[in-house]
Structure 1
Amino acid sequence: MYGISDKIILIFCSAAYYLFYSDSYLAIIPILIVIALSSLFTYYDNKKFQLFACLSFAAICLFMPSYIVFLPALLYDLCLTHYQLIVISLPILLFINNKLINLETMFFVIGITILVYLIKYKTAKLIKLQKEYNDLRDNSVEISLQLEAKNKDLLLNQDAQINLATLNERNRISKEIHDNIGHLLSRSIIQIGALLIVAKDEVITKGLTSLKESLSEGMDQVRNSIHKMYDESIDLYSQLDMIVKEFTACQISFDYDIKTPPALPVKHGLIAIVKESLANVIRHSNASKVVILLREHPAIYQLIIQDNGSLMDDQKKHLTAAIESKTFGTGMGLNNIVERVKGFDGNINFYFDNGFKIFITIPK
């Protein structure tokens, strides 16, 4: 865009000078030639072609000396390139070899050539600054997006840490209640039972019985509260991550992508399935790598457990028969996994083309 406006200015200045001294109806011809070539240079940015066109126009100037006023405008695209020596020498050579060019035209061409260099330098500088500005703006936007993403991740991690700390605190409180209050209530109930055995007075016996029933009811409520607090304190990711970290039989990778925690029975089921699957890897597989993927979809939870172990032909036949008959017996613990998945109305599939793969989907 900047180059086009520069060319318009140069062609206008050259045309104004040319038309001022020309009264021929053919004066429009060099103007049209220069406009056409300049437009072509803008569209087809090939320096060799531009050099050839400028040399051809310079050859025309040998026969039409007045056309030389348009030569600097054509040389605009060659300025600040490795052909710029030609830009300087070409008008000078024309002046030397053509005695018909007057002194005024010579000074005009020299002045417009200097103007071409200045305009070209200014435009190149402006384009460079524009590019640097665009790069800086793009980098700023990219950095801003990265910071926004990191802030979002930090907030999510912070929420996860707060939730985990809350669950751990619930677990601690439930254990303290169980160890302290639960034991005190149990001991009190036992002591009251002993007193009931030795008590003779009916009034005392009735009071102790009522007290024992109240303590037993309180004990049951404490036990239920403890179990509820403990169950709520189970964090699925922490439990699975701990299982993964304790697995040392081979390399293991764990990918967890769940935003909405599943129900408590599903948590227990998933934990048990992962434990059983890793136990099968230790007992029955020669795998060097295990991959666990747990993902959340709009309507289901998806669990994929895969290893790269090799299966013998007999094992493949046995597994194929078991899958077709849906009877796994007690071998490899697969029956327990299948029963757990069925209990959640889920689906389970087994693949053993490349290692052994368990693909499980459980509805929300």
Structure 2
Amino acid sequence: MKNKFFIFIHYFLIASSLIQISISGDKLSGVQFLLYLCFIILFNLRLFYINNKTFLFFILCLIDWILCFFLHLTGLAIPFLLFLIPLIDSFYYNSKPYTYILGTAGLGVCVFSLRNFDIGTIVNYTALFILSGGVLEYFKNNQNKIISFQNKIDELDIQKEELLNSIHDLEIYNESIEDLMTLKERNRISREIHDSVGHGLSTMIIQLNALYAAAKNNTDDLPQKILDLNSFAKKNLEEVRFALRELKPIDYNKYETIILIHNLINEFKKMTNINVQFTFSKNIWSLNEKQSHAVYKAVQEFLSNSAKYGKASKITIHFSYTETSLIVTMKDNGIGCTEIKKGIGLKAIEERVKETDGTVYYESLPAVKGFFMRLVFFKNRTL
């Protein structure tokens, strides 16, 4: 993008030089007018149609100095202001070594146009030419530094945003994993208590009943003690069962799909060493059998395709439960594809999801990096 200030300066210098020529009483001949017109056309081409820091831009600047030289040969007293236009383009828009070549050429044209003046005027204008070039070079270097710093700031802002997003995703992932681990641990403890303590107490009750039957003909107080022990064991068994009911969530079955997906992902990670982040929202509700099967198979197929075809190193899967639907989003950072061809896997996913009255959407390059898929399942669909 050309500097808007210098664009204004170009037109200002052209207008000022023409006014200066008019005031001095000089009249432009046909050739001089044509050269002036070419001069105006060339700097407009550079400003609006030619990218700076290219060889073509350098050639057009060099032609400017040649036009200035020919204007002087025609006998026109060229105002110094006109030299500033190729001078600006030579120093500000060109890079080394083009700047040095154009600066030397411009200085030569400037000195040649002043050869009929006294030495003092030549020295003054030469010094002014060199000083102007130095100022432009200094201005360009400072602006390049500012642009470089701004680019670095922009890059840091992007990295900061990506880091914040990663932290947010990690927090959601940790919360999901904690909830899932807590649920699985509670279920394990519940099962262990039921299998060990509950079984032991049940066996104790059976044995006590047998002892009571064997000892009921005795005259001592053994039967009563056995009855008391039996009653105590039954009481403890009821307490264990109550504790189990309290420990195991009543709506545990609604987490079954989540646990199945989590186990599937863990097995996939062990087999492929691909980083898979699985997260889910809090307000979970139960899927019907077809929905649960469709979700499981879709995740399974997506993981397989990401590893086999996408060559992905990271996969993110999120289950978002709303009041009316479950939205499953899956994305990998693989190589992707510009044209998605439906193979057996994708067709199977679409068929299973549509059987549940759900929807499927997927896209890849250039819309997203890698491959993205979104499934929607609606609540309370009995199929």
TM-score, normalised by the number of residues in structure 2: 0.55
Q: Secondary structure at the match of 2:78?
A: helix
Indicate yes or no: 2:322 matched with 1:300. no
CA distance in 2, matches of 1:174, 1:91: 92
Q: CA deviation at 1:181?
A: 3.0
Indicate yes or no: 2:40 matched with 1:4. no
Corresponding residue of 2:120: 104
Q: CA deviation at 1:132?
A: 1.1
Indicate yes or no: 2:187 matched with 1:166. no
CA distance in 1, matches of 2:175, 2:136: 58
Q: Percent identity?
A: 17
For residues 262 and 240 of structure 1, do their structure 2 counterparts lie closer, same or farther at Cα, with a shift above 3 Å needed? same
Q: CA deviation at 1:137?
A: 0.7
CA distance in 2, matches of 1:157, 1:294: 9
Q: CA deviation at 1:106?
A: 1.5
Corresponding residue of 1:219: 237
* Residues 317-362 of structure 1: per-residue CA shift (max 9 Å, x gap): xxxxxx9xxxxxxxxxxxxx99xxx9xxx6589xxxxxxxxx9935
User: For residue 281 of structure 2, what is the amino acid of its counterpart?
Assistant: K
Q: CA deviation at 1:116?
A: 2.4
Q: How many residues align?
A: 299
Unmatched segments (≥5 aa) in structure 1: 279-287, 312-322, 324-336, 350-358
| 1:140-289 alignment, distance < 5 Å | 140-194=156-210, 197=213, 198-199=215-216, 216=234, 219-220=237-238, 222-223=240-241, 225-226=243-244, 229-230=247-248, 232=252, 236-243=257-264, 258-260=280-282, 262-263=284-285, 270=292, 274=296
* Residues 132-176 of structure 1: per-residue CA shift (max 9 Å, x gap): 112211211122122212222332232233323322432343234
The answer to whether the 8 A contact 1:199-1:205 is kept is yes
Larger radius of gyration: 1
After TM superposition, the structure 1 stretch with the greater mean CA deviation from structure 2, 94-103 or 174-183, is 94-103
Aligned to 1:121, which of 120, 128, 137?
137
Q: CA deviation at 1:49?
A: 3.6
Q: Secondary structure at the match of 1:67?
A: coil
Q: CA deviation at 1:89?
A: 3.6
Cα RMSD after superposing both structures: 5.6
Q: CA deviation at 1:274?
A: 4.9
Q: Secondary structure at the match of 2:326?
A: strand
Corresponding residue of 1:138: 154
Corresponding residue of 2:80: 69
CA distance in 2, matches of 1:97, 1:307: 76
User: For residue 5 of structure 2, what is the amino acid of its counterpart?
Assistant: I
Greater fraction helix: 1
The answer to whether the 8 A contact 1:239-1:271 is kept is no
User: For residue 78 of structure 1, what is the amino acid of its counterpart?
Assistant: S
Q: Secondary structure at the match of 2:377?
A: strand
Q: Secondary structure at the match of 1:100?
A: coil
The answer to whether the 8 A contact 1:301-1:361 is kept is yes
For residues 5 and 108 of structure 1, do their structure 2 counterparts lie closer, same or farther at Cα, with a shift above 3 Å needed? farther
Aligned to 2:90, which of 62, 72, 78?
78
User: For residue 126 of structure 1, what is the amino acid of its counterpart?
Assistant: N
CA distance in 2, matches of 1:166, 1:94: 84
Q: CA deviation at 1:237?
A: 3.5
* Residues 71-115 of structure 1: per-residue CA shift (max 9 Å, x gap): 431222123552743542455356457753333332232112101
CA distance in 2, matches of 1:214, 1:264: 39
Unmatched segments (≥5 aa) in structure 2: 28-32, 51-56, 301-307, 310-316, 330-341, 360-374
Q: CA deviation at 1:255?
A: 9.2
